[in-house]
């Protein structure tokens, strides 16, 4: 019988049994790996302990000897002591001169292997070039694993006398016995688990397939206000096929409702677009009106700087007109309104230019650097600043004795930061989560739809906007964006 022809109940039953078997295999594999790693650590640490103890015994022998402590006298110094050290620590000891020639060994054999008489140049180089002046090699002989450590023996003045070699046999019989016993116990445990899983899988699969029939009946009663695609499955279990047929019947009934809903959503989207465009067009109108009023009050034909002032007022008006033009040009594409363009500009200068349209005496500007070059949209940077300052002005109560709005520009590494701080009414805790939501506005704090557009502009240039506020004490907005 092919797997795809099996009922869902049979598939659940088989999957649960396979899951238990897979878990048992994985745990056994992890256990074997862990035992092998522990065995490696055990032998490495045991060799280090024995080497440390043997080196201590060798140092003691050197201190007690009456012979001059030289490399040539090593065989005399350790003539009998080397066998005593071997007996105490149960480990063969070989002593070589600094050129790799064997001087003394505790191996009690009449004829030694010729390979033991001289060390390889590779070992000598590795020993002299390592920081610890210690070298360990591992070999496999007749199915047995040996570790062999090499280190220097020094005199009281830390002058190298000889090379100490300790051949160490890795005997894993005890660890292997423990591993086999553990795996045997694990096998018994998983055998019991498999038997329990068989019984459990039988009942749970029966319960699930019974529940699926109930679910298919309930789905016939569901009405969703969206359009869905029909499910097409060539072959499946009987229970799933019943569920799919019920779902497809429901889709036919929902199709008419989905068309009506889509029409309603499009109309709502156009209404939202119209609100945002109207708000964005009104934003530059306010500074334009303020600029004209300021020009009327300060106009003096006899002023020597009249031409410069006229040019400044004209530039301000042109910039705001350009802003409205960019909004109108992008009206046909709601997702991209207003159009974004990236250009290199001096943030310090542009922020100062944006503040020129405001006549409030309590607005101050501080730039920690004379020039901060960054890539941003000139018009949109002005919009960001004017929106935030305008919100600060609106946050001031009419009876405020010492109103204050402070705009600050500075850089941190590759980031540009603009802060707008006011001492207005602040933002309540209930209002804070909604402050950047479109359509959200409060007359008290002056936080309107403009903040949502500011957030969208800043995030378009991979930046962020955050704020801190304390009710009745003030608010600080921080705009951060990369220089490039």
What pLDDT does 379 receive? 87
Residues 6+ positions from 238 with CB-CB distance below 8 Å: 7
**Element containing residue 468 per DSSP (H, E):** strand 464-470
What pLDDT does 208 receive? 65
What pLDDT does 362 receive? 92
Ranges of the chain whose pLDDT falls below 70: 1-5, 7-9, 108-116, 172-175, 205-244, 247, 250-251, 253-274, 276-280, 282, 298-299, 325-340, 438-449
- Determine, yes or no, domain membership for 182: no
- Determine, yes or no, domain membership for 133: yes
CATH of the domain at 463: 3.30.565.10
In this prediction the pTM is 0.37
- Determine, yes or no, domain membership for 57: yes
| Residue 356 structural domain | 340-482
Distance between CA atoms of residues 28 and 33, nearest Å: 9
Q: How many CA atoms lie within 13 A of 15 on its CB side?
A: 10
The last residue of one of the domains, among 141, 159, 176, is 176
The last residue of one of the domains, among 131, 151, 176, is 176
**Element containing residue 464 per DSSP (H, E):** strand 464-470
- Determine, yes or no, domain membership for 247: no
pLDDT exceeding 70 applies to what percent of the chain? 73
The last residue of one of the domains, among 153, 176, 199, is 176
What pLDDT does 319 receive? 78
Distance between CA atoms of residues 163 and 99, nearest Å: 9
- Determine, yes or no, domain membership for 311: no
What pLDDT does 175 receive? 67
What pLDDT does 188 receive? 81
- Determine, yes or no, domain membership for 131: yes
The DSSP bridge pattern shows strands 363-367 and 343-346 to be unpaired
| Number of domains comprising the chain | 2
Distance between CA atoms of residues 467 and 469, nearest Å: 7
What pLDDT does 228 receive? 55
């Amino acid at each position: 019988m092919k797997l795809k022809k099996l009922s869902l109940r049979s598939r659940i039953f088989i999957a649960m049994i396979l899951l238990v078997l897979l878990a048992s295999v994985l745990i056994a594999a992890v256990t074997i790996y862990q035992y092998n790693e522990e065995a490696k650590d055990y032998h490495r640490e045991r060799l280090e302990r024995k080497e440390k103890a043997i080196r201590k015994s060798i140092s003691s022998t050197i201190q007690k000897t009456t012979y001059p402590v030289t490399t040539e006298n090593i065989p005399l110094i350790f003539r009998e002591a080397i066998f005593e050290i071997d007996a105490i620590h149960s480990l063969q000891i070989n002593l070589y001169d600094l050129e790799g020639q064997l001087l003394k060994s505790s191996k009690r054999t009449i004829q030694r292997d010729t390979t033991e008489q001289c060390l390889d140049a590779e070992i000598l180089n590795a020993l002299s070039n390592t920081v610890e002046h210690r070298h360990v090699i591992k070999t496999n002989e007749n199915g047995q694993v040996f570790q062999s450590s090499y280190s220097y023996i020094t005199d009281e003045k830390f002058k190298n006398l000889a090379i100490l070699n300790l051949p160490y046999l890795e005997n894993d019989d005890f660890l292997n016995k423990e591993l086999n016993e553990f795996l045997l116990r694990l096998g018994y445990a998983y055998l019991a688990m498999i038997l329990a899983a068989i019984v459990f899988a039988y009942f749970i699969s029966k319960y699930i397939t019974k529940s699926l029939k109930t679910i298919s009946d309930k789905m016939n009663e569901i009405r969703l206000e969206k359009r869905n695609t029909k499910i097409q499955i060539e072959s499946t279990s009987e229970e799933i096929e019943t569920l799919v047929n019920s779902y497809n019947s429901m889709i036919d009934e929902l199709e008419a409702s989905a068309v009506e809903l889509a029409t309603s959503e499009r109309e709502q989207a156009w209404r939202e677009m119209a609100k945002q465009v109207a708000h964005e067009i009104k934003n530059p109108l306010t500074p334009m009106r303020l600029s004209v009023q300021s020009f009327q009050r300060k106009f003096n034909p006899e002023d020597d700087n009249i031409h410069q002032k006229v040019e400044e007022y004209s530039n301000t008006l042109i910039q705001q007109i350009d802003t409205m033009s960019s909004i109108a040009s992008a009206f046909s594409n709601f997702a991209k309104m207003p159009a974004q363009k990236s250009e290199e500009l001096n943030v310090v200068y542009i922020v100062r230019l944006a503040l020129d349209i405001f006549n409030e005496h309590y607005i101050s500007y501080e730039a920690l650097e004379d020039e901060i070059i960054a890539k941003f949209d000139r018009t949109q940077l002005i919009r960001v600043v004017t929106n935030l300052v305008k919100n600060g002005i609106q946050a001031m109560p009419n009876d405020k004795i010492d109103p204050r709005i402070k705009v600050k520009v500075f850089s941190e590494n590759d980031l540009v930061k603009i802060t707008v701080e006011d001492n207005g009414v602040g933002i309540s805790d209930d209002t804070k989560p909604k402050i950047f939501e479109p359509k959200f506005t409060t007359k008290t704090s002056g936080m309107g739809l403009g903040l949502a557009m500011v957030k969208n502009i800043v995030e378009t240039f991979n930046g962020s906007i955050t704020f801190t506020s304390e009710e009745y004490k003030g608010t600080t907005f921080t705009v951060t964006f990369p220089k490039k």
